[in-house]
A and B are shown apart, each in its own frame.
Chain A
Amino acid sequence: MDSLHGILHGLAIAGTPTHLLYTLIGVFIGTMISHLPGIGPSAGIALLIPVTFGMDPITALMMLTGIYYGCMYGGAVTAILLNTPGDAAAVMTVLDGYPLARKGRAAATLAIAAVSSFIAGMIGVTALSFVALPLAAVALHFGPTEYFALILFALTTVSALTGNSLAKGMIATLIGLALATIGIDLQSGVPRFTMGFTELQDRVNFLVVVVGLFAISEVSRMVEGTMGGTLHTVKVKGKLWFTRAEWKRARPAALRGTVVGFLCGAAPGLGGTLAAMLSYVLEKKISKHPEEFGHGAIEGVAAPEAATNADSCGAFVHLLALGVPGSGATAVLMGAFIMYGIQPGPMLFTSQPDLVWGLIASMYVGNIMLLVLNLPLVGLLSRILYVPPGVLLCVVLGIATAGVYSFNNDVFDLYMALGFGVIGYGFRKLDIPKAPLLFGLILGHTLEQSFRQALTLSNSDPRVFLQSPIAAGLLVCSMISVIASVWTNRKPSKAFQEAEARIEETKHLEAERLVEEPR
């Protein structure tokens, strides 16, 4: 089946009433989640995986994927109205989105963000449809040696590029890999690192780790928000459309952002944050009015929003074609695939064409639904911003508890999730990225199996990894990513630092203004 036939076949599957309904539910929930500061797509998907138990895998994965890109779509709302990025990728949107909202252009800015996201989403899914299949055909020739090198490459890229420190990225990845070794070893039957707990013999439950790290630990951020009292919302007022002049400036920025975003997404480990940042810096560099950036340039909203959404489509290229996630959220999605007994990778296109093409086609449908949801209903949906954080954190904890317990009906999982919540808090305070841990946990098993199979086939000769040109090339790329990270004496990029500093500064000024007003 070629790509065009695949898309048409997928549209027939995604167009059934059940799939349409669940795609709508997914994108709606994703949009709602994106409006909750602190709850990112990873936590959102993890919290809702238990709700999909008992569903048909295609329906469930369409809904979970909808949550993912729905989250990416709606991340701009908190950035524009609340001066708080819904997730790290929306940091750049805050820079110009919030000043525009303060100037009374909140509705128009939200509309620009929605339309840019829509354009990027549609182009991104089309590119995904035509790139993933040839890549999967190449990957079909991969053996355990190539797979080992590919996964190692993904892990080193994530370690080297996520967060502010190579050592911390490596620590997170290796902790994830160590967690993946817990349980009975399938080849020898030996229980490893179970510490006498029978519950751990069947490996560490991925859902428990994700909910703990991404949902329960985020509650701590809400607690800090509740006690810090730093949320000041700009109300959505006026006509929900942009002017012709605004659109003329935003359109090319959105298209450039789409290209940057898709390329970043297609490279494992780069992620939406880098995509948004690169597109923002590019726009500022080529703009005729660079002085407007940071004070309300419409391109500063259109480009990063398009990049973030195109990045989420790019991330599906290697998830579907190679079985390697590209970001924390796609790692959670990959975990969901595995929970349904589906191994993402090149075989997926031949063994599960209904699933893979249905999923891709549902992204076209979901994008249209998101545009409808985000344009006329944005005023209504943004009311979720007014839910008191104190109530929200209780709801998140309640859903997390019910979801984790329902997975195995075992209180042990709840204690584990709480433990991972505490670890997640520690990670945040120590500035350790969480996504590499998830990568390590999800890919660790396949990495070990490929490693052992490759060495078994070569009679324990480690040179096997250098004899295959693909494997050797990927290992060289891994080395380069690590060396480059050490060589550049890595610091958070200047643009990103400036963005975060400016958000903090604006919040501080807002807080001071509010304190002074009653006087």
Chain B
Amino acid sequence: MNTKKPDVWLALCVIAGALVYLYSDLHMPVMRSGDPLGPRAFPALIGGGLLFAGALLLVETYRKARAEAAVRVRTEAAARAPSEAAPRAPSEAAPRAPSQAATLAPSEAAPRSHDDIRKGRHQTVVLLAMVVWTALYYTAFEPVGYLVSTAVFLGGLLSYFHRGHYRTNLLVALGFVVIVDLVFSRLLNVPLPAGILSL
């Protein structure tokens, strides 16, 4: 049941989001100039659909959890069976277990080790740090300028993800920004912000 938690949360978030969407739709000004439906009707259908989809996900999750519980009970019974009735059980009960277990997702079929959990947490922290780093880069994008902000941004990422290769990282960061700037500014006539270099 525990592995289904994210889906339950997702369903609840979708239902909450649908309610907010429908509330905004309800408070939208209406102007029906030759249009019998107005701007509210279609979004109302979408909001209703989202509510239905959220509810459907809850039902799906409940059904899957029940089915998995039933499989688990059968697998445990099959595992006990050889010791209780060794001569006749193997051909019937035992072969079913692996095929049913195979239908479960890897995370459901086998419990994750401490190492996996630690690695997963580390990846989440790194990804969160990347999002913050990228948001900072976007904040500095116009005031600092494309060339400087991108070189610093890429330099930071490369020094973490491609550790120890200082010369290569420097060349990649600088080479990339110069080439992209030339392509966009000269070839495509789409100038990227100059920022502090325009002074």
Whether B188 pairs with A51 at a CB distance below 8 angstroms is yes
A479: CB under 8 A from chain B?
no
Contact partners of B21 in chain A: CB under 8 A = 178, 193
- The answer on a CB contact under 8 Å between B7 and A430 is yes
**Contact call B24/A456, Cβ cutoff below 8 A:** no
Q: How large is the interface on B (under 10, 10 to 19, 20 to 34, 35 or more residues)?
A: 35 or more
Segment of A199-207, A238-246, A356-364, A386-394 engaged in the interface with chain B: A386-394
- List residues of chain B with CB within 8 A of the CB of A455: 36-37
**B158 on the A face (CB < 8 A):** yes
Please indicate the chain A residues that have their CB under 8 angstroms from the CB of B146 in the complex.
402, 405
The B-contacting residues of A in range 213-250, CB under 8 angstroms, are: 219-220, 223-224, 226-228
SS of A interface (majority): helix
B95, CB-defined interface residue at 8 Å? no
Report yes or no: B33 in contact with A418, Cβ–Cβ below 8 A. Answer: no
- Give bound CA distance, A219 to B56, whole Å: 31
Binds B, one of A35-43, A73-81, A164-172, A258-266: A164-172
Q: Which of A268-286 contact B (CB under 8 A)?
A: none
Roughly how many angstroms separate A50 CA and B187 CA in the complex, as a whole number? Answer: 12
- A406 x B188 contact (CB < 8 A): yes
The answer to whether B31 touches A418, judged by C-beta atoms less than 8 angstroms apart, is no
B16 at the interface (CB under 8 A from A): no
Question: Using a CB-CB cutoff of 8 Å, which residues 391-444 of chain A contact chain B?
Answer: 391, 393-395, 397-399, 401-402, 405-406, 409, 411, 414-415, 418, 421-422, 425, 429-430, 432
Segment of B38-46, B71-79, B80-88 engaged in the interface with chain A: B38-46
A171–B55 CA distance with the chains assembled, in angstroms: 11
Asked if A292 is at the interface (CB within 8 A of a chain B CB), the reply is no
Interface hits, A455-490 → B, CB 8 Å: 455-456, 459-460, 489
Please give, as numbers and ranges, the residues of chain B lying within 8 Å of A414 by CB-CB distance.
138, 141
Q: Does A497 contact B (CB under 8 A)?
A: yes
* Chain B residues near A227 (CB-CB < 8 A): 119, 122-123, 126
Closest to B149 in A: A401
Which A residue sits closest to B21, measured CB to CB? A178
CB pair B134–A171 under 8 Å, yes or no, is no
Indicate if A192 sits at the interface (CB-CB under 8 A).
Answer: yes
List the B side residues contacting A171 at CB < 8 Å. Answer: 10, 14, 50, 53-54, 57
- Please state if B32 and A178 are interface contacts (CB–CB under 8 Å): no
Using known A-B contacts A171-B53, A178-B46, determine if residue A188 contacts B32 with beta carbons closer than 8 Å.
yes
Contact flags (1/0) for A494-515 with B, using CB distance below 8 Å?
0001100100100000000000
Residues of B within 8 A of A181 (CB): 42-43, 46
Cβ of B103 and Cβ of A192 under 8 Å apart? no
- The interface residues of chain B lying within 8 Å CB-to-CB of A228 are 119
* Docked CA distance A456–B32 (Å): 11
Q: Which residue, A166, A401, A430, has most C-beta atoms of chain B within 10 A? A: A401
Residues of B within 8 A of A1 (CB): none
Please measure, in the bound complex, the distance between the C-alpha atom of A497 and the C-alpha atom of B177, giving whole angstroms: 42
Tell me the complex Cα distance, A28–B119, Å: 37
A380 CB–B CB distance under 8 Å? no
Residues from 122 to 146 in B contacting A, C-beta threshold 8 Å: 122-123, 126-127, 130-131, 134-135, 137-139, 141-142, 146
B19 at the interface (CB under 8 A from A): no
Neighbouring B residues of A411 by C-beta, 8 Å: 138-139, 141-142
Q: What class of interface size applies to chain A in its complex with B? A: 35 or more
B35 at the interface (CB under 8 A from A): yes
**In the complex, A139 Cα to B168 Cα: how many Å?**
56
Determine which of A219, A430, A459, A498 lies in contact with B10 in the assembled complex, contact meaning CB atoms within 8 Å: A430
Output the nearest chain B residue to A55 by Cβ-Cβ distance: B188
Q: Taking the complex as formed, is B183 at the interface, i.e. its CB lies under 8 A from any CB of chain A?
A: yes
Does any Cβ of A come within 8 Å of B106's Cβ? yes
Contact with B along A349-373 (1 / 0, CB 8 A): 0000000000000000000000000
A456 in contact with B36 (CB, 8 Å):
yes
Contact of A402 with B56 at beta-carbon distance under 8 Å, contacts A390-B158, A459-B36, A497-B102 already known: no
- Do the beta carbons of B180 and A402 come within 8 Å of each other? yes
Give Cα A401–Cα B192 distance, bound, in whole angstroms: 11
Chain B 45-62, CB within 8 Å of chain A: the 1/0 string? 011011011101101100
CB distance from B15 to the nearest CB of A (A): 10
- Asked whether A394 and B35 contact (CB < 8 A) given A171-B53, A181-B43, A422-B131, the answer is no
- Compute how far the CA of A400 lies from the CA of B191 in the bound complex, rounded to whole angstroms: 16
Query: Are A491 and B103 within 8 A (Cβ)?
Result: yes
User: What separation, in Å, do the CA atoms of A300 and B60 have in the docked complex?
Assistant: 34
The residue from A187, A223, A418 contacting B138, defined by CB atoms under 8 A apart: A418
Whole-angstrom CA separation of A227 from B138 in the bound complex: 25
- Min CB distance, B75 to chain A, in Å? 17
Question: For residue A185, which residue of chain B has the nearest CB?
Answer: B39
Can you list 27 A-B contacts (CB < 8 A)? Answer: A50-B190, A51-B183, A166-B56, A167-B53, A170-B56, A175-B50, A177-B49, A188-B30, A188-B32, A188-B35, A190-B30, A193-B25, A391-B162, A394-B157, A394-B173, A398-B177, A399-B180, A401-B141, A409-B190, A414-B138, A421-B131, A425-B127, A451-B37, A456-B37, A459-B36, A491-B103, A501-B102
B interface with A by C-beta (< 8 Å): 6-7, 10-11, 14, 21, 24-25, 28-39, 41-43, 46-47, 49-50, 52-54, 56-57, 59-60, 63, 102-103, 106, 119, 122-123, 126-127, 130-131, 134-135, 137-139, 141-142, 146, 150, 153-154, 157-158, 160-162, 168, 172-173, 176-177, 180, 183-184, 188-190, 192
New A-B contacts (5) at CB < 8 Å, excluding given A227-B119, A402-B180: A388-B162, A394-B173, A418-B138, A456-B34, A460-B37
